[in-house]
Amino acid sequence: MAKRIDPKKRSMPKQEPFERVRNFDEVALGYTPELAQEEASRCLGCKKPHCVEGCPVGIDIPRFVQHIIERDFNAGIRKIKERNALPAVCGRVCPQEEQCEKVCVLGKKHEPVAIGRLERFLADWEAASGGIEKPNIAPPNGRKVAVVGSGPAGITVASDLALLGYEVTIFEALHEAGGVLTYGIPEFRLPKAIVRREVEYVKSLGVKLHLDYVVGKTKTVDLLLGEFDAMFIGAGAGLPWFMEIPGENLNGVYSANEYLTRCNLMKGFRFPAYDTPLKRATRAAVFGGGNVAMDSARTALRLGADEVHIVYRRSRDEMPARLEEVENAEEEGVIFDYLTLPIRLLGNEQGWLTEIECLRMELGEPDDSGRRRPVPIQGSEFRMRADAVVCAIGNSPNPLIPMTTPGLSVGKKGNIVASEETGQTSRERIWAGGDVVTGAATVISAMGAGRKAASAIHHALSG
Ligand code: FAD
C-alpha cells in the first residue's frame, strides 16, 4: 500500500508574539524527538535525491533523515558533520526554502520536508546529550595555514584543514569569534551560546584563534604570509552602505551594522548590566527589505519602541528577506511601508532626528536583478515621524586588506577577485571566499566557498 504523506510540515513550536517582543530569547523552540521523527517520516526517500544537489555543502540529507526515522540521532548528526561543521547555525539561519527544500520532490505537490528544522534538531540533540563527537584528525603534516576572519567561511576552511593535519591559526579583528553570526544576527534568532559552542568545536580540532587582531593593521598580509605556507581571507563584507540622502549625519541614524553590533556583540540589550549606548527609540524606521532589515526592526521592538516601520521601495513580493522572518516580523507588529523611498531626514536644533521625508513609488519593468523596478510617483512626498533610523540596504567588503596588500585584485564593488572553483586570488599562496568575494550573501554560500578553498589549499600544499 502506498505511504500516506502528510501534506504539511510539522510546525515548529515558537514563543507567542506578545511574549517574545519583550525578550531576546530564541523565538523558535525546536522540534521534540517525536516531532522530528514525524517530520522525517514525510521523506519519500528518493532514489535520486535532488535535495543533496540543492545543498551548497552537499550534505547526505536522505541518510540523516533516515537516521532520525530510526531514532539513531547519533548516526544522524555524524552524517551531517561529515560535510558541515556548523549544523546548529545552518539549521537555524540557512535559506533552505531556496536550496535543499526548494528542490525536495515532495514540495511539487505538498510542503517539502522541513530539512532545516531536522538539521537543527540533531545539532541541538547532540549538544543536550553532552558529548560533541570529534571526527578523526589526520596526523600533523607540518604545514601552516593562516585564516583571516572567523565567520562561517573562515571557520569552515579552518576545520577542514585541521582535520587534514594542518596547523591552522585564525586571526579575528573583533574580541569574539563567529563573524556576522556573533555581531550581526540577533540572539532571538541565533543564540550566541550556539555560535560559541560551534567555535569551541573548531578549536577542539586544534585550530588556534587570535582575537583583536586586525590583519592589515596589526600585521600586513605579506608579513603574516612570511610565517605561513598559505593564507585564506574570509574577512566578510562589513562596510555598510548608506542612502546618501540629506540628514544621514543626524543623531539617531545608524547603519544596521552599528546598531546590531552594539546590541549583540556589545550586549546593549542587557542595559544597565552592560553600559553600551544604544538609542531606545519610540518610533523607529528601518530602511531595506532583507534579513538584516528584519533583524534590525525586531531588535528595535525588543528594545522598547512603540512603533517600528520597515520602509521598503518595492513590494512584499520583491523583498529578499526569508519569508519566515518576514512573517515573524509581521506577527510581532512591525509595520511595513511598501513602495516607499526615503529622500530626506529632518532633525531638531540639537541635531536629533525627528522626521523622514518619503516618496511613494510604483512598480515598473523588471531591472537587472529580475525584480520590478520601483519608479517614483511625482508629487507624492510625505513625512513620517521617527526618532531612530536604521539603514539596512547592504554592505561591501572593508577596503583595509586590499589597500595594504599589493597585487591583490579587487572588483568594482571592493570585493576580492577569486576563482569560483578554488578561491585562488591573484596572489600566490592566498585564497579567499565568502562575503569578501561575493559581497553580502548567505552563511551556507560562505561555508561552501570555504570548503572549496580548503580543498584547493590542500591540493596545492600537498603537491
Ligand atoms: P563574516 O561572517 O562577515 O565574517 C568575517 C569576519 O572577518 C568577521 O568576524 C570580521 O570581524 C573579520 N574581519 C574582517 N576584516 C578583518 C581583518 N582585517 N582582520 C581580521 N579579521 C577581519 N545569511 C543567511 O544565510 N541567513 C540569514 O538569516 C542571515 N541573516 C543575516 C542577518 C544579518 C544581520 C547579517 C549582517 C547577515 C545575515 N546573513 C544571513 C548573511 C551571512 O551572515 C553572511 O553571508 C556570512 O556570515 C558571511 O560569512 P563570511 O565568513 O564570509 O563573513
Amino acid, single-letter form, for residue 310: I
pLDDT for position 2: 62
For residue 301, what are the contacts with CB-CB under 8 A and spacing of at least 6?
A: 21, 308, 332, 333, 334
- Residue 213 CA, closest ligand 1 atom number: 20
- Residue 184 CA, closest ligand 1 atom number: 34
| Ligand 1 atom 40: residue of nearest CA | 442
Per residue in 27-57, pLDDT (tens digit) is 999 999 999 999 999 999 898 999 999 998 8
- Tell me if 8 sits within 8 A of 38, measured CB to CB: no
Question: How far apart are the CA of 277 and the centre of ligand 1, in A?
Answer: 23
Question: How far apart are the CA of 236 and the centre of ligand 1, in A?
Answer: 5
CA 169, 174, 388: angle at the middle one, nearest 5? 155
Q: 1 falls in which pLDDT band (50, 70, 90)?
A: low
Question: How far apart are the CA of 435 and the centre of ligand 1, in A?
Answer: 7
Per residue in 253-289, pLDDT (tens digit) is 999 999 999 999 998 888 888 888 888 899 999 999 9
- Residue 155 CA, closest ligand 1 atom number: 51
Among left, alpha and beta (phi > 0; psi -120 to 50; other), residue 252 is: left
Phi, psi dihedral angles at 459 (to 5 degrees): -60, -45
Is residue 246 pLDDT above 80, yes or no? yes
Q: 4 falls in which pLDDT band (50, 70, 90)?
A: confident
Question: How far apart are the CA of 182 and the centre of ligand 1, in A?
Answer: 9
Per mean pLDDT, which range of 196-210, 268-282, 424-438 is the poorest?
268-282
High-pLDDT (> 70) share of the chain, %: 99
Nearest to 168 by CA among 184, 182, 149, 183: 149
For residue 165, what are the contacts with CB-CB under 8 A and spacing of at least 6?
A: 137, 138, 139, 140, 141, 143
For residue 223, what are the contacts with CB-CB under 8 A and spacing of at least 6?
A: none
Is residue 119 pLDDT above 70, yes or no? yes
Rounded to two decimals, what is the model's pTM? 0.93
Question: How far apart are the CA of 278 and the centre of ligand 1, in A?
Answer: 22
Q: 3 falls in which pLDDT band (50, 70, 90)?
A: low
Question: How far apart are the CA of 444 and the centre of ligand 1, in A?
Answer: 11
Is residue 73 pLDDT above 60, yes or no? yes
- Residue 437 CA, closest ligand 1 atom number: 52
Residues with CB under 6 A from ligand 1: 93-95, 148-154, 171-174, 179-180, 184-185, 213-216, 234-236, 238, 260, 291-292, 295, 322, 398, 400-401, 434-436, 440-444, 446
For residue 70, what are the contacts with CB-CB under 8 A and spacing of at least 6?
A: none
Question: How far apart are the CA of 180 and the centre of ligand 1, in A?
Answer: 4
pLDDT for position 225: 96
Mean pLDDT score, 287-309: 96
For a mutational test of ligand 1's pocket, the pick from 180, 296, 390, 405, i.e. the residue with the most ligand atoms closer than 8 A to its C-beta, is 180
Question: How far apart are the CA of 376 and the centre of ligand 1, in A?
Answer: 33
For the stretch 297-300, contacts whose Cβ atoms lie closer than 8 Å and that sit 24 or more positions apart, written own/partner, are 297/329, 297/334, 297/390, 298/21, 298/186, 298/188, 298/328, 298/329, 298/332, 298/334, 299/186, 299/259, 299/260, 299/263, 299/269, 300/388, 300/390
Distances (CA, A) of 129 to 38, 60, 74, 203, 283: 21, 23, 10, 20, 44
Q: Which residue has the higher pLDDT, 337 or 279?
A: 337
For a mutational test of ligand 1's pocket, the pick from 92, 148, 328, 443, i.e. the residue with the most ligand atoms closer than 8 A to its C-beta, is 443
High-pLDDT (> 90) share of the chain, %: 83
Is residue 135 pLDDT above 80, yes or no? no
Amino acid, single-letter form, for residue 381: E
Is residue 375 pLDDT above 70, yes or no? yes
Question: How far apart are the CA of 463 and the centre of ligand 1, in A?
Answer: 32
- Residue 257 CA, closest ligand 1 atom number: 36
Q: Are strands 239-240 and 208-210 parallel, antiparallel or unpaired?
A: unpaired
Question: How far apart are the CA of 148 and the centre of ligand 1, in A?
Answer: 12
Residue with cell 542612502: 243
- Residue 153 CA, closest ligand 1 atom number: 51
Per mean pLDDT, which range of 120-134, 214-228, 406-420, 437-451 is the poorest?
120-134
The three grid cell numbers given for residue 408, joined into one nine-digit string: 591583490
| Ligand 1 atom 36: residue of nearest CA | 184
- What is the C-alpha to C-alpha distance for residues 381 and 370, in angstroms, rounded to an integer? 27
The three grid cell numbers given for residue 433, joined into one nine-digit string: 571566499
Mean pLDDT score, 125-142: 85
Question: How far apart are the CA of 359 and the centre of ligand 1, in A?
Answer: 32
Residue with cell 580540532: 205
- Residue 149 CA, closest ligand 1 atom number: 7
- Tell me if 372 sits within 8 A of 273, measured CB to CB: no
- What is the C-alpha to C-alpha distance for residues 80 and 179, in angstroms, rounded to an integer? 22
Question: For residue 75, how far is the Cα from the chain centroid?
Answer: 27
- What is the C-alpha to C-alpha distance for residues 183 and 261, in angstroms, rounded to an integer? 5
For residue 201, what are the contacts with CB-CB under 8 A and spacing of at least 6?
A: 85, 132, 134, 159
Phi, psi dihedral angles at 425 (to 5 degrees): -95, -175
Please classify residue 368 by burial: count the beta carbons closer than 10 Å to its beta carbon, then call 0-12 exposed, 13-18 middle and 19+ buried: exposed
The sign one gets for the Cα dihedral 400, 403, 409, 414 is: positive
- Residue 189 CA, closest ligand 1 atom number: 28
List 203's β-bridge partners, or say none: none
Phi, psi dihedral angles at 217 (to 5 degrees): -120, -60
